[in-house]
Amino acid sequence: MTDPLKTLDALLQGASAAPQQFAPNSRYYGVPTVTTTLADGRVVCHLTRRFVPPPEAFSVLQTYRVVQNDRVDSIAAKFFGDPLLYWRICDANRALAPQETTATVGDTVAITLPQGIPAASGGR
């Protein structure tokens, strides 16, 4: 008699969906991986390209003016409760690198909802 748990495990191991390699707070969470065979025969696994969404894809909750000693990770911790979500601020403000987001005291950055989540509408 075959063990149903082993059968299930074998099916899951052979499933086309690769196990998720990144934590849910990573900008790469959900980005698929592919394998490529190099000319020398080595097989390497890599991420597919992640396209940064346009700022219009985000619903702005508020803007924030950068003050002395701010870093994008400290701003993410303040608004999202997780400094590792700094990339959400970068994405919403067209910054490919964190240092592009809060370069100067007095800069204004958009604090947004995650991509695809619309802002609540309606009155009070």
**Predicted structure pTM score:** 0.68
What pLDDT sits at residue 119? Answer: 76
> Which residues, listed in sequence order, are joined to residue 33 by a DSSP beta bridge?
47
Q: In this predicted model, what pLDDT tens digit does every residue of 4-52 receive, in sequence order?
A: 555 444 444 444 445 567 888 888 888 888 999 999 999 999 888 888 8
Q: In this predicted model, what pLDDT tens digit does every residue of 53-86 receive, in sequence order?
A: 888 889 999 999 999 988 889 999 999 999 999 9
Residue 80: how many other CB atoms lie within 10 Å: 16
What pLDDT sits at residue 103? Answer: 61
Task: Label residue 124 by pLDDT band (50, 70, 90).
Answer: very low
What pLDDT sits at residue 105? Answer: 86
Sign of the Cα torsion 109, 113, 114, 115 reads negative
What pLDDT sits at residue 123? Answer: 46
Q: From residue 121, how far is each of 61, 98, 118, 124 by CA, in Å?
A: 12, 31, 9, 10
Domains and CATH numbers, the chain: 21-50 (no CATH), 55-112 (3.10.350.10)
